[in-house]
Structures are given as structure tokens and as C-alpha cells.
Amino acid sequence: MFLTLLLQASGGKEFTQLLFPVAIAVVVYFFMIRPQQKRAADAKAFRQSLTKGSRIVTIGGLHGLVVDLTEDTVVVEVDRGTKLRFDRSAIAREVGNKTNSSTENVATT
């Protein structure tokens, strides 16, 4: 009888010892791994959706206009006549045509 109680007690302890690492793995997956995979997928989709005429910023902070695209590279015009070729993975984000309302008001008056 004593042996049966001892085996039952140790079996429950092993279960709780196993439950803690599994719970940590689940938390790490949902709070770290899954969001990183989603960001990577979003970045890949963005880079594939680039078109000619898009205003972009590279990872290094260089602003320019996309003038040519291939499967792996992007040609960016950074100044009149100055074109640079980048890998698609070097494109960080697209910059919209944001207008400053204070400069519009000054120009119209």
C-alpha cells in the first residue's frame, strides 16, 4: 500500500515537472517566434509588391525612386541621373507622398 502511494505521488510530480517546460515553450512560441515569422512574411510580401515609381527607403536610410525591377534587384534613382542597384532585401519601407500643410498654406498665400 505504501509503495502504491509512493508511485502515485511520484507520477504526479513528474507530470508537473514536464508541464512547466512545455508551458514555457508554448509561451515562447506565441510571444516570440510566431510574431517574428509574421513580420518576415509581411516584409517579403512588401518587397514583392514593389512597383516602378515607388518612393522607398533602404535599410541604410537612402531615399530614392524605383526605376527598374528584376526578380532579385531594384534600381533606385537617388538624384537626377544617379542610379544605384540594390537587392530587394535591402528595401526597408515605402515612403508615401506626405505633404506638409504649413508649406501648402505658405505657398498659396
CA angle 100, 78, 45 (to 5 degrees): 80
From the list 97, 77, 94, 93, the residue with the least C-alpha distance to 85 is: 77
Instruction: Confirm if 94 and 56 have CB atoms less than 8 A apart.
Output: yes
How do residues 76-91 score in pLDDT, each as one tens digit? 999 999 999 999 999 9
What is the per-residue pLDDT for 14?
74
What is the per-residue pLDDT for 18?
84
Please report which confidence band the pLDDT of residue 4 belongs to, taking 50, 70 and 90 as the band edges.
Answer: low
How do residues 18-56 score in pLDDT, each as one tens digit? 888 899 999 999 999 999 999 999 999 999 999 999 999
How do residues 90-99 score in pLDDT, each as one tens digit? 999 999 754 4
